[in-house]
Amino acid sequence: MSAKKYSLPRGTRDFLPGETAVRGHVRGKVESVFKSFGYMRIQTPTFEEFALLSARAGEKIRESMFTFFCDGAEYALRPEMTAPVCRLIASGMFAGMPKPHKLYYIERCFRYERPREGAYREFTQAGVELIGSASPAADAEVIALAVRALESLGISSYKLKIGSIGIYRELLNQEGLSSKKQDKVVELIDSMASVREKCAAILASAGSHEDDIDYVRRELTEIYDAQQSTGYEGDFAVTLPEKYDAAVAAEWLKKLPAYAEDTCRHRLAAEGLVKAEMATLLLALSGVQGGFAEVEPKAAELLKSYQAAMGEFDRLGEVCACLASGGVKNFEIVLGIAAGFDFYTGAVFEINAEVSGGRKRICGGGRYDKLVEDFGGEHTPAAGFAFGFDRLVEAFEVSGGKADKSAIDVCIAAESNDAAVIGTAIGIAGELRGAGFRTAAPLSDEGIDAQLAYAAATGARAVVVVGPADVEKKQCRLRAADGSERVVPADGLSKILSNESAMS
């Protein structure tokens, strides 16, 4: 009876050597860019107190986290990195160190959610946090850093969108809304704006895929449920189709944005969040997008009676000016972006790029000036972002990026199992490893043909053959790809191999 075979945990992945080589290449490039901006790496525990991770989101976040009890306390595997970093700052461990603190991380995170293409329960975040600066230049730096990381990987087909949660915060402050109610308003606006953008993207691609039909079914059901729960009786009341197919999806993709917007307007009033006039203003703002010169007069007209909110828009203009000065000019102002930005307070941004399955968000971030304070620290302005590292790797490969997947530079092949031959081969391997060459020494009793086949399969850039006659003469043979060999001294082989032509 054979032993039981165990399955991979749901929502996780194994990465084979070729895949880890690509991931290591991407990580190295990104980390190099982080360091070039003066950021230093930090590490925090894989799990934190559940109370910390739910401090802002509330109890509802429990259903999307892995939680457990230990030593009388409840913990959870971290779902993201910003909260742990803010906990670290609030603890006072950086007291006395010069500000701003420029920190980066590349760490695994965990979320308990339905696994699907591009969304796993275990994933990696690569990001930075710039702690202690309120300058627009700080916002611009974290955005520029993300762009430079993409450029270092050769990813040129990306879309950078910049907005401002600060504008909404100031408008809602004037309405007297608490932070939690503001978060709810931002969430509703984001949900509506996401429908608008997703429908436009699908229509632009002339898609009629099963995923598009599922999207229409899901969003239409959510709008219907929201209308039923809030007593909606407007002109955009939803009647759910009896069946969903490509034709039904195509028709609804044209109509969904209007239904989502009117439903959002109704919910904002029905749930006692804002008055109808403010709801109309918020929804109008969410549709403003384009180049800064194009957007500025539209924003000025909408915000002419709201000085503080206009001040936030002007600050966004300063961020854009700093970006342009730093050479980042390929971006669009999109005042409707708010996805996942409930704890942000100022400028926000997201980057979309081509990955397997289409263009998707691979990076998001912005300014959060209250989070450290929310976790018990002093008032501390901050800005940051995180790459979805797994999607970043996909974007790298989709863009045509290549990484060295070979594990071996030099393969030593022995023509005999004689102790002197094997000893010489191992000695040569040691000398080459000391010189920085990834080197494989003979490890089996297989013949020379099998060893040469192994060298070819591993992609070794050089093969060194050692036989009994070579031991006596203190030499070895450097074998070319066409099978030809040339004799070289065994002593000092690393110097010969360092010659570029010898390793080509």
| 105 and 169, same domain (yes or no) | yes
> Domain for residue 418, yes or no?
yes
Shared domain check, 99 and 27:
yes
Classify residue 387: in a domain, yes or no.
yes
Cα–Cα distances in angstroms (integers) from residue 483 to residues 437, 464, 479, in the given order = 22, 11, 6
CA distance 502 to 437: 13
Q: Please give the residue range of the domain that contains residue 335.
A: 10-44+81-177+307-313+328-405
- Identify which of 401, 445, 432 has the alpha carbon closest to the alpha carbon of residue 494: 432
Q: State the pLDDT at residue 61.
A: 83
CB 344 within 8 A of CB 370: no
Q: Tell me the CATH number at 159.
A: 3.30.930.10
Q: Given 352, 387, 405, which residue is the final one in a domain?
A: 405
Nearest-angstrom CA–CA distance, 153 and 353:
13
Residues 6+ apart with CB under 8 A from 211: none
Q: Where are the beta strands (DSSP E) in 73-166?
A: 73-77, 101-110, 122-131, 158-164
- 16/126 same-domain check: yes
Residue 474 within a domain: yes
26 and 122 both lie in a single domain: yes
Whether residues 398 and 426 fall in one domain:
no
Identify whether residues 145 and 17 lie together within a single domain. yes
Same domain, 23 and 159: yes
The domain that contains 488 carries what CATH number? 3.40.50.800
Element (H, E) at 424: helix 419-434
The answer on 172 and 88 residing in a single domain is: yes
Q: Give the number of domains in the chain.
A: 2
Q: How far apart are CA 371 and CA 379, in angstroms?
A: 8
β-bridge mates for residue 466, sequence order: 414
Which pLDDT score is estimated for 502?
44
Domain assignment present for 348:
yes
The predicted structure's pLDDT at residue 1: 62
Residue 60 to residues 32, 35, 57, 230, 475, Cα–Cα distance (Å): 38, 37, 7, 21, 71
3-state helix/strand/coil string of 345-359: CCEEEEEEEEECCEE
Counting Cβ atoms within 10 Å, is residue 427 exposed (0-12), middle (13-18) or buried (19+)? Answer: middle
Please, are residues 350 and 339 in contact by the beta-carbon 8 Å criterion? yes
Q: Are residues 381 and 425 in the same domain?
A: no
Q: Same structural domain for residues 378 and 417?
A: no
Per-10-residue mean pLDDT for the chain, 504 residues long? 86 93 96 97 96 80 91 94 94 91 97 82 96 97 97 95 94 89 86 86 73 87 92 91 87 92 91 90 92 94 94 96 94 82 86 84 94 91 96 94 89 93 94 93 88 91 93 91 86 82 46
User: What pLDDT score does 405 carry?
Assistant: 86
pTM for the whole structure: 0.88
Across the beta sheet with 67-70, what order do the strands follow?
47-49, 73-77, 67-70
**Residue 231 lies inside a defined structural domain of this protein:** no
Choose the final residue of a domain: 368, 387, 405: 405
Q: Is the domain of 491 the same as that of 393?
A: no
Nearest to 220 by CA among 254, 185, 267, 269: 254
Give residue 340's pLDDT.
59
Give domain status of residue 247, yes or no.
no
- Bridge partners (DSSP) listed for residue 128: 104, 385
Q: Which of 355, 373, 405 is the last residue of a domain?
A: 405
Structure tokens that stand for 42 in this block:
């930090």
Instruction: For residues 391 and 417, state if they share a domain.
Output: no
